């Protein structure tokens, strides 16, 4: 059995904001797995179903972000799940918009929802999918930035594309395990083309002429220079 938790804030005010990445990914995952998330249980909206014969629980905590751990702890205790069978999906301001990072464990970073979960269940040894929303612009307070909506059609499309990838990564985790999901879906940093790297490696810096070479330079060079100048 597996539990997948998407973090967000309940209510229309926060729907589809940057901080509600987890809710939006879970909505897409619900469609992919044909598991409706409609049941109210343990301070959450919950959906239960089967995937390849194994039970899967999808969860959107309704506690507001900073208390997400209360809901997750109750679900973990009820289903008696080991830590490795919990997957949490959430937004990350330390990743570029649309980037995906899947990890086996780790700290909460700056995310209050993850801080609440780690504190409530007493461990950070569980998998997570982080979806990048980009850093906070200087003109925003952090709380205002993460609860803001995407401004342009392109931003909304980029976010939706990232949510689809995150949902596919969750399915891969269910089907083939964490390492396979990491290998397939972690965003790769761009690299310099091979030719450019070889060019840089083989380039030679210009060498300064030695004083002795300058002193023994043939006189004919001086005369040639004089003819050109004239």
Q: Which two tokens stand for residue 155?
A: 């931003």
Separation of alpha carbons 204 and 41, rounded Å? 68
Question: From the candidates 2, 16, 19, 149, which is the catalytic residue?
Answer: 19
Count, residues in the chain: 230
CA torsion angle 151 152 157 158 (round to 10): -70
The residues, ordered by sequence, that sit 6+ positions from 64 with a Cβ below 8 Å of its Cβ are: 9, 10
Residue 157 CA from chain centroid, whole number = 16
Identify the DSSP state of 138: T
Q: How many CB atoms lie within 10 A of CB 192?
A: 10
Q: In the chain, what is the straight-line distance between the N-terminal and C-terminal CA atoms, in Å?
A: 91
Concatenated DSSP letters for 40-53?
A: EETTEEEEEEEETT
* Inter-residue contact 175 to 53 (CB < 8 Å): no
Helix axes 153-176, 21-33, angle to 10 degrees: 50
40 is catalytic: no
Q: Which residues are catalytic?
A: 19
């Amino acid at each position: 059995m597996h539990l997948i938790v998407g973090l967000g804030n309940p209510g229309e005010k926060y729907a589809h904001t940057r901080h509600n990445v987890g809710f939006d990914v879970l909505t897409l995952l619900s469609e992919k797995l044909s598991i409706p998330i409609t049941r109210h249980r343990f301070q959450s909206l919950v959906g239960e179903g089967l995937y390849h014969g194994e039970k899967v629980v999808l969860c959107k905590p309704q506690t507001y972000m900073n208390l997400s751990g209360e809901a997750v702890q109750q679900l973990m205790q009820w289903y008696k799940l080991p830590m490795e069978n919990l997957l949490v999906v959430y937004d990350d301001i330390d990743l570029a918009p649309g980037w995906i990072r899947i990890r086996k464990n780790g700290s909460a970073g700056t995310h209050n929802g993850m801080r609440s979960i780690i504190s409530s269940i007493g461990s950070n040894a569980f998998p997570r999918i982080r979806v990048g929303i980009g850093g906070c612009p200087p003109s925003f307070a952090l709380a205002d930035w993460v609860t803001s909506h995407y401004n342009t059609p392109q931003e909304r499309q980029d976010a939706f594309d990232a949510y689809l990838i995150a949902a596919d990564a969750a399915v891969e985790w269910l089907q083939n395990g964490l390492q396979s999901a990491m290998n397939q879906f972690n965003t790769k940093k761009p690299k310099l083309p091979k030719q450019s790297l070889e060019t840089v490696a083989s380039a030679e810096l210009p060498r300064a002429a030695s004083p002795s070479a300058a002193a023994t330079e043939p006189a004919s060079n001086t005369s040639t220079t004089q003819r050109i100048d004239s």
